[in-house]
Amino acid sequence: MDDGGLLRNLWGLKPIILTSILLVLALRIMVVLWWRPRKIEYHFAKQGIKGPPYHFFIGNVKEIVQLMLKASSHPMPFSHNILPRVFSFYHHWRKIYGATFIVWFGPTARLTVSDPDLIREIFSTKSELYEKIEANPLVKQLEGNGLISLKGEKWAHHRKIITPTFHMENLKLLIPMVGKSVEEMLDKWDQMMWEKGGGGEREVEIEVSEWFQGLTEDVITRMAFGSSYEQGKAIFRLQSHQMLLAADAFQKVLIPGYRFMPTKGNMKSWKLDKEIRKSLVKLIEKRKLENCNTNINDNNINMGNNIGSEEVGVGGDGPKDLLGLMIQAGMREDEKNNNNNNNNNNIPEINNSSLNNYAPQLSSTNNKNKITVQDIVEECKSFFFAGKQTTSNLLTWTTVLLAMHPHWQDLAREEVFRVCTSRDIPSKDDLAKLKMLNMILNESLRLYPPAIATIRRAKYDVELGGCRVPCGTELLVPILAVHHDQAIWGNDANEFNPMRFSDGVSRAAKHPVAFIPFGLGTRTCIGQNLAILQSKLVLTILLRRFSFTLAPSYQHAPTVLMLLYPQHGAPIVFRQLSEHDKETGPGCRVDQVV
């Protein structure tokens, strides 16, 4: 009876409890969405840093979308001054507030930082004060929760495991296979020329960005899966299907909890997820078996020092691949735990490298660093995402640039014929000698950097360039704007002039870290060597067989959707080089142009 009375009393309290909960919630919302942004705005305004005013909840997103839609509604003239079109909101507000301003992505403030000295501070000299930001869950689903987004110890562990894949000695083993893929692609173009027929000049119009994507996908598959190329291809097919679904869901981000709803797309995505995992597990088991068979007496694995040894389970001298290295690292952990430190000779000694500071746990026997199947799945996704569109966009823009500037195309071709005298696929040494092509690629990366910006977050209250930046503020580094800055690159900043790189990167600009297409510091792009090697190889083989110009239908419309890409594609007309050109090289000499 007493209990009943108590209960009744509690019931009587219910409305009060409910209202208090609601009140607290409302207060919290007001703090996060209104009061805190106001405080931050005031904090920066006091230090002379302004920006477009914050709007409740959405910040400046509405203006940003409007500016971007307006900019991308028309193609632009054939000029390389692409900042206003590609990065319209930055361009617009920089004119009003100066290069350093605050812009609101929802209730999150981003401070733009374009001074190379401060960029160096963020990425390298004081990088411990800054971290990568947590990606939106959908973006994460797209890019995978791998190297790109991991943080702290786990990142350092994975980076260390994967790095040997990208050593030049390893990459060079890829050259014959990639070269073959390129030649096959060009053979198909040849075929298309024949089919178009007509006795006259043989030419064909190709939308290069699609072809280059297919090619890079092939290369990435080999990097990730090595000898298990065919199975890898199948897994990547599933992944790209899943990415399409995620990109689709991306447009519905405003529905809360959407990604947990059993919609048709989500069900499909979950099914794909299961399938991907099943295929990978199967593949991993197979690889582990192979590994045991080929490496019975190979216990002395030394991560920093294994070039030339054959310990990776690809059966001999094939390149080290992501899958092999991750499986092996996982097996090493297992072995270490089994051995219980009895047998010190078998435990791989990992030498100090710059990474070691961030990976103190590598040699301890806890299971925190265990490599799981999920880890491998996420790294595969990361590779696929980070490697495919970036490199193919570099190839696309470089081809467009060479089509726009025939003088430079001739110069590049002249060098290719001079250096690569054999008709075979060029060797690594040949490629290293192609200085002109290197300069052209760098100039292409400067004017059209595939990744136009990157973001960090202040982990603490920090001071940056004399400005007090509160903990949690995000820093937006507009790579594209730094690359087009006339104060850094001179008056011809918006012109295509590969010559500026003739004395190396550090002499090309007024500041040594003004060229950052691959980022900087510890989180710099792991695939840089691969991207450059592959691009050189493709362009070399291409220049040797064809000359090319922009198709009449080409519209110059660089735009950005995560990466910089041609909004209306990149149709290019390819012509077979005459026999005369092939024998002597084209008639154009360096001194005629420069």
Ligand X SMILES: *[C@@H]1O[C@H](CO)[C@@H](O)[C@H](O)[C@H]1NC(C)=O
Residues 212, 217, 219: CA angle, nearest 5 degrees: 95
Residue 507 C-beta: closest distance to ligand X, Å: 9
Nearer to ligand X, 54 or 496 (CB): 496
Instruction: Identify whether the C-beta of residue 497 lies closer than 8 Å to the C-beta of residue 513.
Output: no
Nearer to ligand X, 358 or 548 (CB): 358
Residue 508 C-beta: closest distance to ligand X, Å: 6
Q: Of ligand X, ligand HEM, none, which one does residue 357 interact with (CB within 5 to 8 Å by kind)?
A: ligand X
Residues that contact ligand X, how many (by CB under 6 A)? 15
Nearer to ligand X, 5 or 308 (CB): 308
Distances (CA, A) of 487 to 402, 439, 492, 560: 26, 21, 10, 24
Question: Applying CB under 6 A, which part among 50-58, 98-106, 329-337, 499-507 lies near ligand X?
Answer: 499-507
322-339 and 264-294 helices cross at what angle (nearest 10)? 70
In which element (H, E) is residue 257 found?
none
Residue 275 C-beta: closest distance to ligand HEM, Å: 23
Rule CB under 6 A: say whether 351 interacts with ligand X.
Answer: yes
Q: Which residues contact 369 (CB under 8 A, 6 or more apart)?
A: 153, 154, 157, 333, 361, 362
Q: Point out the residue whose Cβ comes nearest to ligand HEM.
A: 527
- Which of 47, 293, 357, 486 lies at the binding interface for ligand X (CB under 6 A)? 357
Rule CB under 6 A: say whether 352 interacts with ligand X.
Answer: yes
Nearer to ligand HEM, 202 or 457 (CB): 457
Nearer to ligand HEM, 391 or 442 (CB): 391
Rule CB under 6 A: say whether 134 interacts with ligand X.
Answer: no
Unique residue bearing structure tokens 């009744």: 8
Residue 343 C-beta: closest distance to ligand X, Å: 16
Question: 376 in helix, strand or coil?
Answer: helix
Q: Of ligand HEM, ligand X, none, which one does residue 439 interact with (CB within 5 to 8 Å by kind)?
A: ligand X
Q: Of ligand HEM, ligand X, none, which one does residue 302 interact with (CB within 5 to 8 Å by kind)?
A: ligand X
In which element (H, E) is residue 530 found?
helix 528-545
Nearer to ligand X, 150 or 301 (CB): 301
Q: Hey, which residues does 549 pair with through a beta bridge?
A: 573
Q: What are phi and psi of 525, to 5 degrees?
A: -60, 130
Question: Applying CB under 6 A, which part among 16-24, 407-415, 434-442, 563-571 lies near ligand X?
Answer: 434-442
Distance CA 94, CA 72 (A): 19
Q: Hey, which residues does 462 pair with through a beta bridge?
A: 469
Q: Which residue type does 226 have?
A: G
Residue 528 C-beta: closest distance to ligand X, Å: 7
Nearer to ligand X, 349 or 463 (CB): 349
Distance CA 143, CA 233 (A): 18
- Which of 165, 209, 239, 438 lies at the binding interface for ligand X (CB under 6 A)? 438
Rule CB under 6 A: say whether 442 interacts with ligand X.
Answer: yes
Distances (CA, A) of 242 to 257, 283, 299, 588: 18, 19, 38, 49
Residue 156 C-beta: closest distance to ligand X, Å: 12
Rule CB under 6 A: say whether 505 interacts with ligand X.
Answer: yes
Q: Of ligand X, ligand HEM, none, which one does residue 489 interact with (CB within 5 to 8 Å by kind)?
A: none
Instruction: Identify whether the C-beta of residue 539 lies closer than 8 Å to the C-beta of residue 533.
Output: no
Q: Hey, which residues does 464 pair with through a beta bridge?
A: 467
Nearer to ligand HEM, 462 or 530 (CB): 530
Distances (CA, A) of 251 to 254, 259, 455: 8, 12, 22
Residue 479 C-beta: closest distance to ligand X, Å: 12
Rule CB under 6 A: say whether 302 interacts with ligand X.
Answer: yes
Unique residue bearing structure tokens 């598959």: 221
Residues of span 512-541 touching ligand X by CB under 6 A: 518
Kindly state the DSSP code that residue 167 receives in the 8-state scheme. S
Distance CA 154, CA 238 (A): 26
Q: Of ligand X, ligand HEM, none, which one does residue 351 interact with (CB within 5 to 8 Å by kind)?
A: ligand X
In which element (H, E) is residue 445 found?
helix 435-447
Nearer to ligand HEM, 148 or 482 (CB): 148
Q: Which residues contact 211 (CB under 8 A, 6 or more apart)?
A: 185
Distance CA 211, CA 193 (A): 16
Residue 168 C-beta: closest distance to ligand X, Å: 12
**Closest among 90, 76, 188 to 566, alpha carbons compared:** 76
Kindly state the DSSP code that residue 54 receives in the 8-state scheme. P
- List residues binding ligand HEM (CB under 6 A): 147-148, 159, 220, 223, 382-383, 386-387, 390-391, 394, 450-451, 454, 517-519, 523, 525-527, 530-531
Nearer to ligand HEM, 269 or 391 (CB): 391
Rule CB under 6 A: say whether 170 interacts with ligand X.
Answer: no
525 is in an annotated binding site: yes
- Which of 117, 134, 187, 349 lies at the binding interface for ligand X (CB under 6 A)? 349
Residue 191 C-beta: closest distance to ligand HEM, Å: 28
Distance CA 201, CA 503 (A): 40
In which element (H, E) is residue 42 found?
helix 36-46
Q: Of ligand HEM, ligand X, none, which one does residue 457 interact with (CB within 5 to 8 Å by kind)?
A: none
Distance CA 348, CA 329 (A): 10
Nearer to ligand X, 304 or 569 (CB): 304
Unique residue bearing structure tokens 């990606």: 135
Residues belonging to the binding site for heme are: 525
Residues that bind ligand X (CB under 6 A): 302, 305, 349, 351-352, 356-357, 435, 438-439, 442, 501, 504-505, 518
Residues belonging to the binding site are: 525
